[in-house]
């Protein structure tokens, strides 16, 4: 059994890492000739922002008694799963694990 505090710390660390990565990509997007609005409006970056923002919204609203809104934010956090799949493109280990899982489903 893992405590809720441990999950919160893990979520905070991952969100900070993803935020730093997003901000770094945003800060250098003009090097390739892309405008900042075009960068922000691209599909993958909208997914990235949707994965990052709910944590900060929850952090800002955690003392507000809006249980329903927080429930909706928890649902939106599922978008982070898309982030893992995006990172999977670069991780040969994750690609191998997906391939092994796919192959074992036929057994």
DSSP string, 48-73: HHHHHHHHHHHHHHTTS--HHHHHHH
H-run or E-run covering 18: helix 4-28
Higher pLDDT pick, 97 / 15: 15
pLDDT at position 61 over 80: no
pLDDT at 106 over 70: no
Please state the pTM of the whole predicted model. 0.61
Of the two residues 99 and 27, the one the predictor is more confident about is 27
Helices (H) and strands (E) in the chain, counts: 6, 0
């Amino acid at each position: 059994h893992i405590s809720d505090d441990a999950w919160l710390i893990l979520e905070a660390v991952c969100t900070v890492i993803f935020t730093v990565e997003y901000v770094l990509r945003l800060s250098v997007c003009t090097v390739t000739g892309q405008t900042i609005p075009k960068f922000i409006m691209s599909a993958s970056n909208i997914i990235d922002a949707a994965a990052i923002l709910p944590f900060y919204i929850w952090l800002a609203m955690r003392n507000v008694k809006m249980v329903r809104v927080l429930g909706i934010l928890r649902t939106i956090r599922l978008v982070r799963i898309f982030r893992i799949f995006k990172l999977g493109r670069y991780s040969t280990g994750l690609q191998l694990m997906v391939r092994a899982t796919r192959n074992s489903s036929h057994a």
